[in-house]
Amino acid sequence: MIRYIVKRLIFMVPLLIGITIVCFVVMHLAPGSPTDLETQMNPRASAEYRERLKAMYDLDKPLHEQYLIWVKKLAVLDLGRSFSPDRRPVSEKIMERLPITISLNVLSLILILIIAIPIGVLSAVYQDSLFDKVTGIFVFIGFAMPTFWLALLLMILFGVNLGWLPISGIRSLNYEYLPPGMAIVDLIRHLILPVTLAAFGGLAGLSRYMRSNMLEVIRQDYIMTARAKGLSERVVIYRHALRNALLPVITILGLSIPGLIGGSVIFETIFAIPGMGQLFYMSVMARDYPVVMGVLFIGAILTLLGNLIADVSYAVADPRIRVS
Amino acid sequence: MKTDFWKRFSKNKMALAGSCVVIMLFVISLLAPWIAPYDPNEIDLQKVLSAPSRDHVLGTDQLGRDVFTRMIWGSRISLKVGFVATGIAILIGTVLGAVAGYYGRWVDAVIMRFVDIMLCFPTFFLILAVIALLEPSIWNIMIIIGVTGWMGITRLVRADFTSLKERDFVLAARAIGASDLRIIFVHILPNAMASVLVAATLGVAGAILTESALSFLGIGVQPPTPSWGNILTAGKDNIDIAWWLSLYPGMAILITVLGYNLLGEGIRDSLDPRLR
């Protein structure tokens, strides 16, 4: 097992280097240097100040040296300072928002699993039944649904017309004064819409995937063996088939992480949730390059970590992977 | 082979429905200047945010412009972005996939690692980061969506090429002295076009979704150019008073994307019924 993990980690090294190179290249796409922008916005910046800035960002050195200096800073999570007036370190800004984004994504992943797996299993077991057909149509619509639009519609329905759910932020204004029990209810009420919508995108894909997996497993010889020795259909489906059909889902969950993280930009912006996605959106609008690059880098690292966790859990669940 | 395809395709109701939607969209965006009842940029401050009525079937927006008209013009944007972005993605994806699959060894290893690296970035993050650096014009949007969306196609084409290059017709072509370039593009590529065509159709749908999300966030197609996404932005700004601004453009996006998806799946099923 440890050998497998080490192998995975070694495999990640070139990816990690590649990620830093892509980030570095994207950063240098900017017309003019980042210091240009900062100084143009500030008419009082003298030529000397500009030189100092340039030296601070090492823009006077050749490209490969700039890259090495930048990577060395990255290694200790020094992502520079924000261009915004607060001038705080980028890593600090990201770290204080990361927990919100990660918990939202974990919640929606859980929701996806709870809903998609039963749907997939049932529509495979009762293939071509009415249930299978209806969910099939829903899946198709789910693939085509612009989720930000669905968000708008649900906000109009539940927030504006019915007034049941709040449509922005994660806390009410009087949050501080609520008793602990009410505070949790308040938080949950704020999270219902964003978590449901973030999950929506993954639902269609996973339930379809689960269905085709299950259909494949049901046709295997060992299922026939289980039936032949007289096991009840329940045991055959839920003990023998389901376990094997569930395995590859781990990989799919790993693959869905970049989509979820990317989607957080949309949901956190729509629902005014103070997470990493919203920070990213605001920095893009304000052209706060150090933050934009920082979030881009952290987003890729999160994906890489997610894939690693998925790979390792797959190996834990399925010994065949470890050996090959 | 071809007649089989058409026979299966014409029996596939979903595929036909998808083609109808796609053809209709083409017609609407081609005829936009003639079928739209108003000028898309005609501001009428007397009729700001008026609900759907006989004069304005889908209501008006925050500047009194006719929503129906702006949606008709918006279909042009969707079509343009969908096709140009997908075209770029197909071009990059096919060339890289073909080279990786045909040459194998270290060329393959390098290209496929690059694909892995690109897939580590949440696509939406990558697009936004590039937009932060460049101006969000419609051309930039198309290019960025294309340049960040070729990885899946590379994997598909590579898989086709690795199996096709072992076939006898490739050996025959090599035996008569055909160059690598000729073998790749004239002999193997036509045989790999089927999966590319399916991926392209589904890719158009994806590009339209991405563009509308970007425009909705205000970093895609910029007003006053009408796009379905930026009409929805107005819908969000007036969420408590003008539901029609939120409802109809989203429906247009949903139907369009559904149409391309149905068409893509229909083509896949008709090309090779075994894939179902």
A162 CB-near residues (< 8 Å, 6+ apart): none
A40: pLDDT strictly greater than 60: no
A289 with A83: CB under 8 angstroms?
yes
In three-state secondary structure terms, B60 is strand
What integer pLDDT is reported at residue B225 of this predicted model? 86
Instruction: List B66's β-bridge partners, or say none.
Output: B60
Q: How many angstroms away from the CA of B254 is the closest CA of chain A?
A: 5
CA neighbours closer than 13 Å in the CB half-sphere of residue B20:
8
Question: pLDDT (tens digit, 9 = 90+) per residue, A293-315?
Answer: 888 888 888 888 888 888 888 88
Nearest to A15 among B116, B250, B262 (CB): B116
**Most distant CA pair in chain A, distance:** 87
What integer pLDDT is reported at residue A77 of this predicted model? 77
DSSP 8-class letter at B56: S
Nearest to B232 among A152, A280, A289 (CB): A152
Q: Which residues of B touch A (CB under 8 A)?
A: 113-114, 116-126, 128-134, 205, 209, 212-213, 216-219, 232, 235-236, 239-240, 243, 246-247, 249-250, 253-254, 257-258, 261-262
Residues in chain A with CB shorter than 8 Å from the CB of B129 are: 26, 284, 292-293, 296
What integer pLDDT is reported at residue B207 of this predicted model? 92
User: Is the ipTM, as predicted for this complex, more than 0.90?
Assistant: no
Q: Please state at what angle helix B138-147 crosses helix B123-133, rounded to 10 degrees.
A: 140
Nearest to A148 among B113, B216, B257 (CB): B216
Q: Could you count the other beta carbons within 10 Å of the beta carbon of residue B205?
A: 24
Number of alpha helices (DSSP H) and beta strands (DSSP E) in chain B = 13, 0
What integer pLDDT is reported at residue B259 of this predicted model? 92
Contact B216 A304 (CB under 8 A): no
pTM for this structure?
0.86
Q: In percent, how much of chain B has pLDDT > 90? A: 20
Residues in chain B with CB shorter than 8 Å from the CB of A133 are: none
How far is residue B264's CA from residue B5's CA, in Å, rounded to a whole number?
13
Structure tokens at B16: 């036909």
Question: pLDDT (tens digit, 9 = 90+) per residue, A66-96?
Answer: 788 888 888 877 777 777 777 788 888 888 8
Q: How many angstroms away from the CA of B41 is the closest CA of chain A?
A: 24
Residues in chain B with CB shorter than 8 Å from the CB of A284 are: 128-129, 131-132, 219
Contact B257 A146 (CB under 8 A): yes
A167 to chain B: nearest residue by CA?
B239
Q: Could you count the other beta carbons within 10 Å of the beta carbon of residue B142?
A: 23
**Most distant CA pair in chain B, distance:** 76
The model's confidence at residue B276, banded by pLDDT at 50, 70 and 90, is very low
B94 CB-near residues (< 8 Å, 6+ apart): B153, B154, B157, B189, B196
How far is residue A143's CA from residue A203's CA, in Å, rounded to a whole number?
9
The model's confidence at residue B256, banded by pLDDT at 50, 70 and 90, is very high
> Which numeric CATH code is attached to A98-290?
1.10.3720.10
Greater model confidence, A49 or B95: B95
Nearest to A155 among B239, B254, B258 (CB): B239
Contact B129 A293 (CB under 8 A): yes
Nearest to B125 among A144, A262, A304 (CB): A262
Residues in chain B with CB shorter than 8 Å from the CB of A259 are: 122-123
Nearest to B253 among A149, A293, A299 (CB): A149
Inter-CA distances, A148 with A309, B91, B118, Å: 29, 30, 25
What integer pLDDT is reported at residue A59 of this predicted model? 64
DSSP 8-class letter at B143: H
The model's confidence at residue A38, banded by pLDDT at 50, 70 and 90, is low
Question: pLDDT (tens digit, 9 = 90+) per residue, B165-214?
Answer: 888 888 888 888 888 888 888 888 888 888 888 889 989 999 999 999 99
Question: pLDDT (tens digit, 9 = 90+) per residue, B124-146?
Answer: 888 888 887 777 788 888 999 99
Structure tokens at B198: 């399916």
**Number of Cβ pairs closer than 8 Å across A and B?**
137
